[in-house]
Amino acid sequence: MSTKPKNETLILFLALLITGVLIALGLGFFRNQIPGLSGNSGTGGTGGSGGSSIEQVSDRLSTGDRILVSDDVTPDKQAGIDAIKAGNFGEAVTRLEASLRSRPNDPEALIYLNNARIGTNRSYEIAVSVPIGSDINGAKEMLRGVAQAQNAVNQAGGIGNVPLKVLIANDDDSADTVKEVAAALVADPDVLGVVGHFASDTTIAASEVYTQGKLVSISPVSTSVKLSGLSPYTFRTVPSDYVAARALANYMQTTLNEQRSAVFFNSQSGYSQSLKSEFVTALSLGGAQVTNEYDLSQGGFSPAQSVNEAIAQQATVLALFPNSGLLDRALQVAEVNGNRLKLLGGDDVYSPKTLEVGGASAVDMIVAVPWHVLAHQGTPFVNESRQLWGGDVNWRTAMTYDAAAALIAALGRNPTRDGVEQALRSPDFSAQGASETVRFLPSGDRNQGVQLVTVKTGNRSGFGYDFVPIP
C-alpha cells in the first residue's frame, strides 16, 4: 500500500500551521503599531475609552518644555519654551520675563520662568494637576496659587537653600485621564508631592493610584465628604461639604428664619450629591425640611415647572447645588424664580457666570465659599497676589496656594515622599497659608470654616454685580 497520500497530507498540514503562525505574528505586530489597539495602552491601565498611550500622557506634562495653556501664548513665551528645550536657560529666563511683562496674569509662564531660573541645578519638585482641557478658568485659578507659592519660596532662598520646581499636568478633570496622569507622576521619582485634583470624583479616582505609589496629593477644591479618611496619602485644604452645608442650613434657619427648602443638584456629580445630602441632613437636625429634590441632569428637567412645584409645596428657599458643568441650568432656575424665593448656593455657584448671566435674579443669593478676598484685605497674600496678577484672586487660588504651602513646609522637614506624608500627618505640623494656618485632621481634612458671601450690585466684577462677604 502506497504511503504517498499520507506524506502529502503531513506536508500540507505543516504548511498550513506555519502560515497560521506567520499570520498571527503579523497581526500582533500590526496591532502594536496602532495606538489604542495594543492591550498595553497607557500608564494607568484604566481601560477607559481608547486609553492614552505613554506618549499621550507625556504630552500632558510639562516643566517648561511645552505649552499646555494654549490661550496664553505670546511670541516671547514660545521662544522661552524653545530655549528651555534647547537647554539655553538664560535665554529662556529673558524671554519668559518679557512675556510676563506683556501678560502678567499668566501663571504657566511664571512657573516656567522659575523652573528656567533653576536650570539643571538641584531642586525639589512637586506637581500640580489641573483641568486645562475642560475648565480653563478653574485651571488658571489653581495654577496662580501654585505659581505664587513657588515664586515666594524661591525668592526667599528656597527650601533649605534648595529651590522648588513645579511640573504642570493637564488631567482634563476626567476620571480615566486622571488615573493615567497620576500613574505617570507616581512613576517619576522626582515628584515628591501633588497639588490636585479639581472635581471630587477625579480626586477620588486618583487617590487609589497615589496610595499604591505612596505619593501624597493635596486637593485645594474637592469638597465631597467621601474624601474624609479616604487614604493616608489624600489631603485637602478646602473645607468639606459637611462644613459648608451646615453653615448654609444654619444661616437659613437662624438668620433668614426659613424652614422649608427645595434642593437642585446633579446626581451625576459626587460633589453635588455630597453637598445636597449634607444639607438635607443638616436641615433635618435643625428641625427644618427639604420639600422637593430636583435633579438638574435629567433630560426632561424644566426650571419653570420645578420652581412652580416648589412654591406649591410651600418651599420658601431654593438651594442651588450644581457642579460647574450644570451651573447654567441652576441659573435658569434663579431666573425663573424671579426673586420670589430666597436663594442659597454651593461653592461652584461662586463664578463670574453667576454675576454676568444670573445678574439681577441672583441678587441676595447666599453662597458658601472657603475664602473671599474682601474678608482679608491688607494681608501679605492679597497684596502679593494683586501685584503678581494685576487683580483679585478667588478662593480656588487661595486654597491652592495653601496646598502648595503645605507641601513646601513638609519638604522643609523631610524632602522625601515618605517624609512628606509623615510631616503632614504629624500633630505638630503647620504651614502659613493665604490667611490662616494650614493644619490637617487625622482624616486628611483641614480644620477650617467657610465664608458666606452674597450677591449685591457693584462694580468690582465688571458685570454690575459682585460677591461680597457677610460679616
Domain of 89, CATH number, reads 3.40.50.2300
Answer yes or no: do 220 and 262 share one domain: no
Residue 174 forms part of a structural domain: yes
CA angle 166, 172, 173 (to 5 degrees): 95
Could you tell me if 75 and 224 lie in one domain? yes
Region of 378 (left: φ > 0; alpha: ψ -120 to 50; beta: rest) is: left
SS3 128: strand
Instruction: Tell me how many domains the chain contains.
Output: 2
Q: Is 263 helix (H, G, I), strand (E, B) or coil?
A: strand
- pLDDT (tens digit, 9 = 90+) per residue, 332-377? 999 999 999 999 999 999 999 999 999 999 999 999 999 999 999 9
Strand duo 366-369 + 451-457: pairing: antiparallel
Examine the domain organization and report whether 343 and 402 are in the same domain: no
Higher pLDDT, 9 or 253: 253
**For residues 193 and 338, what is the distance between their CA atoms, to the nearest angstrom?**
47
Residue 314 lies in a domain: yes
Based on the fold, state whether residues 355 and 395 are members of the same structural domain. Answer: no
Classify residue 463: in a domain, yes or no.
yes
Could you tell me if 186 and 210 are in contact, meaning their C-beta atoms sit under 8 angstroms apart? Answer: yes
State yes or no: pLDDT of 29 exceeds 80. Answer: no
Q: 330 with 407, same domain? A: no
* pLDDT beyond 50 at 273: yes
Residues 116-168: tens digit of each pLDDT: 999 999 999 999 999 999 999 999 999 999 999 999 999 999 999 999 999 99
Please indicate, yes or no, if residue 32 is contained in any of the structural domains.
Answer: no
Rg (CA), the chain: 26
One domain for residues 394 and 302: no
What is 32-75 written as a DSSP string?
Answer: HTSTTTSS--SSS----SS---HHHHHTTEESSSS---GGG--H
Structural domain for 129, as ranges: 54-239+381-438
Q: Evaluate whether residue 164 is within a structural domain.
A: yes
The C-alpha cell 458643568 sits at 325
Say what the pLDDT of residue 447 is.
86
CA torsion sign for 459, 460, 466, 470 is negative
Cell representation of residue 425: 500627618
213 plus 235 within the same structural domain = yes
Q: Is residue 310's pLDDT more than 90? A: yes
Per-residue burial over 415-453, b = 16 or more CB atoms within 10 Å of its CB, e = otherwise: bebebbbbbbbeeebebebbbbebbbeebbbbebebbbb
What's the distance, CA 174 to chain centroid? 10
Q: What is the pLDDT of residue 39?
A: 30
Give me the DSSP letters along 163-202: -EEEEEEE-TT-HHHHHHHHHHHHH-TTEEEEE--SSHHH
- Return d(Cα 36, Cα 373) in angstroms, integer: 46
Amino acid identity at 258: E
- Judgement on whether residues 326 and 456 belong to the same structural domain of the protein: yes
Asked, as a colleague might, if the bond just before 376 is cis with ω within 30 of 0, I would say no
Task: Kindly state whether residue 48 falls inside one of the protein's structural domains.
Answer: no
Same domain, 196 and 227: yes
User: Which residues are within 8 A (CB) of 17 and not within 5 positions of it... i.e. 6 or more apart?
Assistant: none
Residues forming a β-bridge with 367 = 345, 453
Show the cell assigned to 280: 438635607
User: Of 396, 448, 413, 433, which is closest to residue 216 (Cα–Cα)?
Assistant: 413
- Which pLDDT tens digit goes with each residue over 240-266? 999 999 999 999 999 999 999 999 999
Whether 297 and 404 map to the same domain: the answer is no
CB 282 within 8 A of CB 249: yes
265: three-class secondary structure by DSSP: strand
Nearest of 417, 72, 407, 61 to residue 220 by alpha carbon: 407
Beta-strand (E) ranges in 395-442? 431-432, 437-438
Residue type, 290: V
Q: What are phi and psi of 450, to 5 degrees?
A: -115, 165
Report how far residue 127's alpha carbon sits from residue 1's, in angstroms, rounded to the nearest whole number.
Answer: 80
307 near 337, Cβ under 8 Å? yes
Q: How far is CA 204 from CA 187, 240, 241, in A?
A: 19, 14, 15
Q: 117 and 218: one domain?
A: yes
- Statement: residue 12 has pLDDT above 90: no
Residue 36 lies in a domain: no
Rounded Cα–Cα distance for residues 327 and 117 (Å): 41
Q: How many C-beta atoms surround the C-beta of residue 277 within 10 A?
A: 18
pLDDT of residue 4: 39
Q: With residue 396 as reference, give the H or E element that holds it.
A: helix 395-413
In a domain, 139, yes or no: yes
- Residue 110, number of CB atoms within 10 A of its CB: 25
Give the number of other Cβ atoms within 10 Å of residue 14's Cβ: 10
58: left (phi over 0), alpha (psi -120 to 50) or beta: alpha
Grade residue 55 by pLDDT with cuts at 50, 70 and 90. Answer: low
Strands 217-219 and 191-195, bridge-based pairing = parallel
Q: Examine the domain organization and report whether 328 and 399 are in the same domain.
A: no
Sign of torsion, CA 139 140 143 145? Answer: negative
pLDDT value of residue 18: 45
pLDDT tens for residues 57-93?
999 999 999 999 999 999 999 999 999 999 999 999 9
pTM of the model: 0.86
